[in-house]
Chains A and B, each alone.
Chain A
């Protein structure tokens, strides 16, 4: 066997906790069989999870790297593999490989900046890693705003953590919204793009956005109308991936591979590429 890194051969992880977030999203806590993390990562990076005979797919690591005991994955039930993952119990082994892709530039371009996180639905998963990273190194960042919307109250991922930690922390403004009126809900109602425009952020901020393509499209339009430049907005992409290392050839947008050159892109970079995502 050669000494090069075996990128395609995964490691084994064990599910140590399953949290039901929403009717179709569960968060899985995963450790190495001997305990501890399977590998280290940076916020925004992804991992390939698989079950032999079922399939393998890329998921963003939703836990912050500052957590030293485990990794977490928030996964929406969507296809073959995710359906299988959703019926897992604690103790189930899965395979994990990674970390893949470039992280959000938390140590460079985002440092010292005022940040706005905008997420829709399961789109919170990759941003949660960055949010908790920034909370951990709070002194390195300016103001933090979080705009998060979902179809309904029940579809808000990590609602408990948002309520009990984020909302209570000084210097973090959390703006929640849901698409339609709901009895128990006394917060904002409306779509994320409109809400962002209503909130009208100062132009000195850096935006990190993730959610359904249609939400991203209209939010970006709104931000531009507010006067933001594309170079102030970061997002993270998802396309079909098989290898995770820029070789299998399917996750490209133009000459960039999402798995290797992304998944984090700045909108001015994306603007120079074909609109094929």
Chain B
């Protein structure tokens, strides 16, 4: 294990951003997102969450797939991707780190999504342990250890040091490039912090959410549960929950006429939107109830069914704090987790 004093942390960031782009939580116009590091950036490692999750780095909200041209009867297609630059993603919390496993199940399944795969290959993840979880956190419910996140390198912060430990080959390689600014350290401080955080985790109000009902056998019962109606009643049909979610991965492919040609791009989509399943001849999910139900059925029933029981939620709590009407997955788990009329 290595460490560096927090007052020298800019040296670490300078070293990390020497050869490749370093993304980390930076505050701009009052909000924190993963932005490229630059000198004098307002780095906010203290923030629990960025607004958008770290998935944006591997599966960006908008990305160009190809450039096309329709010229009379002829069509030209050219590659238009931008995915090969190596980068370091620093400060990913345990929940977001697990979300990459969820996204991998989709994008790396056959046939592999080469855009996503290239970014995964070129990105090194430096995850950051939590020491100050919030009331909206429930990552433990999905078996995530907030004190020991997945990642190529894991870092822990205390009041005056950052502790650094490589976990993978990629992480070892990254460590070599910054070794000069790090010093050796024992793991005492980290162990103490982990123990303290675990005590806090035990007090989280949502730590006991019960997922046992969400199984294949219960699919139709949950689907047909009448309580979806009241839960979805005032859903605004906006895409906030989807777009702040680290595991939502539905996308749209659209064409944009630049005036000089057509860019075919991919962008995040939301099953909460009315046009998500709309076809020229009709829409299988006409009401907000159906769209709302789809989102949670996907995360809690369909996805686990297709992926060896892995839920498509990591308990980051973003939707809990961002939903304009405070309807969220925790409420759904609590309501649907218990059979109707019990």
The interface of chain A, by Cβ under 8 A from chain B, is 1-2, 4-10, 12, 51-56, 78-80, 82, 89, 91-95, 238-240, 242-243, 245-252, 254-255, 272, 274, 276-277
Min distance, Cβ A89 to any Cβ of chain B, angstroms? 8
Chain A hits for B277, CB < 8 A: 239-240, 250-251
Give the docked Cα–Cα distance between A272 and B221 (Å).
Answer: 11
Question: From residue B264, how far is it (CB to closest CB) to chain A in Å?
Answer: 7
Judge whether A249 and B269 touch: CB under 8 Å: yes
B106 within 8 A of A: yes
B interface, size bucket: 35 or more
Of B70, B121, B266, which is in contact with the most chain A CB atoms at under 10 Å from its CB? Answer: B70
Contacting residues of chain B (46-69) with chain A, CB-CB under 8 angstroms: 65-66, 68-69
Question: A249-B269, A255-B305, A276-B285 known; A93 and B73 CB under 8 Å?
Answer: yes
B142 interfacial contact with A, CB 8 Å = no
| CB proximity of B279 to chain A, nearest CB, Å | 5
* Contact call B255/A54, Cβ cutoff below 8 A: yes
Distance between B135 CB and nearest chain A CB, rounded to angstroms:
30
Given contacts A93-B75, A239-B284, 17 further A-B contacts (CB under 8 A): A1-B114, A2-B118, A2-B121, A5-B112, A6-B114, A7-B111, A8-B65, A8-B115, A8-B266, A51-B70, A53-B68, A238-B279, A240-B277, A248-B253, A249-B298, A250-B277, A277-B284
> B interface vs A, CB < 8 Å?
65-66, 68-70, 73-75, 77, 79, 106-107, 109, 111-115, 117-118, 121, 219-220, 223, 249-253, 255, 257, 261-262, 264, 266, 269, 271, 276-281, 284-285, 290, 294, 297-298, 301-303, 305-306
Q: Are B253 and A242 neighbours in the complex by a CB distance under 8 Å? A: yes
B79: contacting residue among A9, A89, A243, CB under 8 A? A9
B114 and A2 contacting across the interface, CB-CB below 8 Å: yes
Q: With both chains docked as a complex, state the minimum distance between the C-beta of B171 and any C-beta of chain A, in angstroms.
A: 22
Q: How far is the CA of A130 from the CA of B182 in the complex (A)?
A: 67
A261 to chain B, nearest CB (A): 9
Cβ-neighbour of B253 out of A8, A91, A238 (below 8 A): A8
CB contacts (< 8 Å) of A89 on chain B: these are: 73
Q: Write the chain A residue with the least CB distance to B279.
A: A240
- Taking a contact as CB atoms closer than 8 A, the residue among B115, B253, B280, B297 that contacts A56 in the complex is B253
- Point out which of B65, B117, B121, B255 has the most chain A C-beta atoms below 10 A from its C-beta: B255
**Which residues of the other chain, B, contact A56 by a CB distance below 8 angstroms?**
253, 255
How far does the Cβ of B72 sit from chain A's closest Cβ, in whole Å? 9
Contact B264 A52 (CB under 8 A): yes
Check B284 against A249 for contact (C-beta < 8 Å). no
A93-B73, A247-B249 known; A52+B284 contact, CB < 8 A: no
Residue pair A249, B271 in contact (C-beta under 8 Å): yes
Determine if A79 and B279 form an interchain contact, defined as CB atoms under 8 angstroms apart.
yes
| CB pair A254 B284 closer than 8 Å | no
Bound complex: CA A56 to CA B264 (Å): 10
A70 to B239 Cα, complex, angstroms: 43
* 13 sample A-B contacts, Cβ–Cβ < 8 Å, listed by A number: A1-B114, A5-B112, A8-B253, A92-B73, A239-B277, A242-B251, A242-B269, A247-B107, A248-B251, A249-B269, A252-B294, A276-B284, A276-B290
Q: A250 and B75: CB pair below 8 A? A: no
Chain A residues with Cβ under 8 A from B303's Cβ?
255
A80 in contact with B280 (CB, 8 Å): yes
B118: A residues at CB distance < 8 A: 2
Given contacts A7-B111, A276-B284, contact A249 B249 (CB under 8 A): yes
A5: chain B residues at CB < 8 Å are 111-112
Cα A52 to Cα B33 with chains together (Å): 34
Given contacts A6-B114, A52-B70, A249-B298, A254 and B219 within 8 Å (CB-CB): yes
Which chain B residues border A8 with CB–CB below 8 Å?
Answer: 65-66, 113, 115, 253, 266
For A245, the chain B residues whose CB sits under 8 A away are: 111
- Whether A95 contacts B77 by the Cβ 8 Å rule is yes
Are A4 and B114 within 8 A (Cβ)?
A: yes
Q: A242-B253, A249-B250 are in contact. Are A2 and B75 (CB under 8 A)?
A: no
Q: Chain A nearest CB: distance from B294 CB in Å?
A: 8
How far is the CB of B257 from the nearest CB of chain A, in Å?
5
A4-B281 in contact given A53-B262, A243-B251, A247-B106 (Cβ < 8 Å): no
Rounded to whole angstroms, the CA-CA distance of A10 and B253 in the bound complex is 13
Residues in B with CB closer than 8 Å to A94 are: 75
Contacts of A54 in B (CB 8 A): 255
List of B residues within 8 angstroms of A239 by Cβ = 277, 279, 284
A82 proximity list for chain B (CB < 8 A): 280
Asked whether A274 lies within 8 Å of B220 as measured between CB atoms, the reply is: yes
A254 to B285, CA, bound (A): 12
